[in-house]
Amino acid sequence: MMKQSDNSGVLASEATREATAFRLFTFFGSKSVRSACYQLLLAALLVGFSYWLYSNVVENLHAQRISTGFGFLHQPAQFAIGETLIPYTANDTYTRALVVGFLNTLYVTLCGIVLATLLGFLVGIGRVSRNWLLMKVCVTYVELLRNVPVILHVIFWSMVIRNLPAPRQAIALPGGFLTNRGLTFSVPAAHSGWLWTLLALLTGCVLSLLVSLLARYWRERRSKVLPTARIHLALIIALPLLVWGLSGAPHALNTPELRGFNFRGGFTISPEFTALLLGISLYSSAYIAEIVRAGIQSVPKGQLEAARALSFSSWHVMRHVVIPQAMRVMVPPLASKYVSLAKNSSIAVVIGYPELANISNTMMSQTGQALEAIAIMMVVYLAISGTTSLLMNLFNRYVAIKER
């Protein structure tokens, strides 16, 4: 009896071990578990390598008696910035100087995206035009601009602007003057009515967007078409005009006048900003034109033939048939091009426009905090690129055609 019980105990323990081994083999033999283990191992190796690299850099900096940390950001910058969107003096901190550079980068990026998109859409539509001359002009535009490095575009426009006449021999334009100091033009004089009008315009644009979303919901879910054209006109045009009239109808202008060797008054767009904006916008517009052309040509020809059979005009065919379907193809590459345009703004260092990279280089030369300055630039450009991608993804969801 004792032997039988011993044998049964041994067999039970062996069976338990075999069952445990089988469960372990089944667990680690799973594809998902192996994938997770490999990813954890890779993450651990990356963390270890990053820590080793950081320790090595810090040790070498201490050996060269270079301090580390971001405490220098609270010190006075002690350098002037020629073009700012917010008040700034040389006695302000490095933090404020970086904020100025960030705002300048954001400003030229937004202006560049708008200008490049407008030019790109016009040239892209011209690329598929039936007019032979227009098509060839657009082809030449694309091939000429996209095959020249963007830095040469910026330098070329900087040289062109610098060789314009001096203020005393300025080129007169309607409402302004063009000189080697930039473009100077008249602007509305300071009045609270203009601020309220601008706020009304922004409010009208937001409400117009909400109306478009509501109209789309009704069209897709309830198969009802809402007439929104008059509502858009009322919100975007009539509402600001009404606010402008109620606020006193201000109409005085701040016009530029030649005094001494330069103009006083009005608003001046600097040569550096203009050269950078034209350089990155024209370069990007050539690629955007090809994206638009590819999107338009992706629409089946049967859709165009059906629209023409219904007596749609060329404008209605493009507006209601081609563009809505082409946007599904255009939006993803457009997002990539917008991110590239934002990063190309760092080329401003070659012409002296005070954007983030230019100010960071000045900060590095004064403080020696190269590692921290580069880290700040990387984080800022990463944030700009990530925000641009997020907004374009949201827009992609909006323009996507919903299947019923």
Structural element, H or E, at residue 29 = none
Q: What is the pTM of this model?
A: 0.78
Nearest to 142 by CA among 160, 121, 115, 113: 121
User: Are 312 and 144 within 8 A, CB to CB?
Assistant: no
What pLDDT is stored for residue 12 in this prediction?
Answer: 57
**CB neighbours of 87 closer than 8 A, spacing ≥ 6?**
none
CB atoms within 10 A of CB 257: 10
What pLDDT is stored for residue 2 in this prediction?
Answer: 47
d(CA 379, CA 375): 6
What is the residue type of 234? A
Torsion angle defined by CA atoms of residues 234, 237, 238 and 239, in that order, rounded to the nearest 10 degrees: 90
Cα 54 to chain centroid, rounded: 31
Per-residue pLDDT of the chain in tens (404 residues, 90 and over written 9) = 444 555 555 555 665 665 565 555 555 556 677 777 878 888 999 999 888 887 887 777 777 776 677 788 888 888 888 888 888 988 889 999 999 999 999 999 999 999 999 999 999 989 888 888 999 999 999 999 999 999 999 999 989 888 888 888 887 777 777 888 878 877 777 777 888 888 988 988 888 888 887 887 777 776 676 777 788 888 888 888 888 888 888 877 777 777 777 777 777 888 888 899 999 999 999 999 999 998 888 888 888 788 878 777 777 787 778 888 888 888 889 999 999 999 999 898 888 888 898 898 888 888 878 888 888 899 999 999 999 988 888 888 776 665 55
What pLDDT is stored for residue 323 in this prediction?
Answer: 80
d(CA 397, CA 68): 44
Quote the strand ranges of 100-158, DSSP E. Answer: none
Burial tier of 286 (Cβ tally within 10 Å: 0-12, 13-18, 19+): buried
CA–CA–CA angle 386, 392, 396 (5° rounding): 140
What pLDDT is stored for residue 170 in this prediction?
Answer: 80
d(CA 45, CA 41): 6
What pLDDT is stored for residue 145 in this prediction?
Answer: 92
What pLDDT is stored for residue 280 in this prediction?
Answer: 93
401 to 124, 291, 326: CA distances (angstroms): 22, 19, 10
d(CA 337, CA 287): 8
